[in-house]
Amino acid sequence: MTIFAKAPGPGGNALSVKSNVGPPLLAIGCVLVASPVAEATPEEGSRFTVLRAPDTITVGLGAALPMFVIYEFPGPLANVTLGWDIHAHAQVVASAGAGALHLDGSRRYHGKLGAGVRGFPWRRGPLWGQLGFGLNGYVERTGIVLPERRVSATDLGAQLTADAAVGVAVCGWEVAVGFDFILVPTRYYTSYTGDESLPNRGMAVAWIGRQL
């Protein structure tokens, strides 16, 4: 398992287009690097190799229920979660996910990198709970056909989330639900002061996973 941590070039990080996400990304990286089981060795200046393979790999399919993106229509979600045992009752986990949200005239593709700690009340028991952080980036395209012209826009953005999830794992399958609470929203979500103001919103997620 190799994690690339390329130094940003002169043009900066693409994810900084809409939000200042450099520090959060660094923090997530630090969680992995500082993990007692993820011994990292500098290699070629900016490349790190995690020496130990994950103890669990889980792939999942589910749904994302946006509570601030495009009008609360759920969309498909796929994710993969890697876990490294650090204790009989705990794992460090890293995850990656992708999904899409769609409604008439607007489509959003989102991808997420996350890291956190998963705890098991019983030793490797079926129940688990997880806390962590996530970096959610998206690209969204909006289109409207009006008599006067065709309207379109492409938007890039990212937000930092605090994530919580609970799940049950039985016989290699798991069912989980979670909520990604927006800590740092996309930059222009700042002026509306009404009922729906951020950052009191996030995205609910639910998935069924299979441990490989």
Partner 1 sequence: MKSAWLSIVLVAGCVDYMTPDPRDTLASLPSDVPTPADNPTTPEKVALGRALFWDPILSGDRDVACATCHHPDFAYGDGLAVSVGVGGRGIGPVRATNLDAPRTPRNAQTVLVTAFNGLTLDGAVPAEEAPMFWNHRVASLEQQVFGPIKSDAEMRGTSIPEEQIVDVIVARLAGIPEYAVLFEAAFGAEGVTPSTLAKAIAAFERTLVPTDTSFDRYMKGDDDAMSTSAIRGMHGFIFQGCARCHNGPMLSDFKLYELPIPATHGGPEVLGEATGKFRTASLRMISRTAPYGHNGVFENLSEVADFYHNIPVTTPLLEGDVEPPLGGGDDLLAFFEALSDGAFDRTIPDRVPSGLSPGGP
The one among 6, 36, 53, 104 contacting partner 1 by CB under 8 A: 104
**For residues 112 and 175, what is the distance between their CA atoms, to the nearest angstrom?**
19
The one among 188, 208, 210, 212 contacting partner 1 by CB under 8 A: 188
Does 142 bind partner 1 (CB under 8 A)? Our answer is: yes
Q: Which stretch in 7-15, 82-90, 115-123, 165-173 sits in contact with partner 1 by CB under 8 A? A: 7-15
Query: Given the complex with partner 1, which of 105 and 172 has the nearer CB atom?
Result: 105
Region of residue 12 (left: phi > 0; alpha: psi -120 to 50; beta: else): left
The one among 53, 148, 170, 171 contacting partner 1 by CB under 8 A: 148
User: 3, exposed or middle or buried, with CB in 10 Å at 0-12, 13-18, 19+?
Assistant: middle
**For residues 81 and 45, what is the distance between their CA atoms, to the nearest angstrom?**
27
Per-residue x/- track, 108-137, partner 1 (CB under 8 A): -x----------------------------
Query: Given the complex with partner 1, which of 120 and 189 has the nearer CB atom?
Result: 189
CA 41 to chain centre: 25
Give the tokens for residue 92.
């460090």
The one among 26, 34, 127, 144 contacting partner 1 by CB under 8 A: 144
Q: Report the run of H or E that residue 29 belongs to, with start and end.
A: helix 22-34
User: How many helices and strands (H and E) does the chain possess?
Assistant: 1, 11
Per-residue x/- track, 11-30, partner 1 (CB under 8 A): x--x----------------
User: What's the closest the beta carbon of residue 200 comes to partner 1, in angstroms?
Assistant: 9
User: 50, exposed or middle or buried, with CB in 10 Å at 0-12, 13-18, 19+?
Assistant: buried
Residues found near partner 1 in the complex (CB under 8 A): 9, 11, 14, 67-72, 103-107, 109, 139-156, 188-198, 201
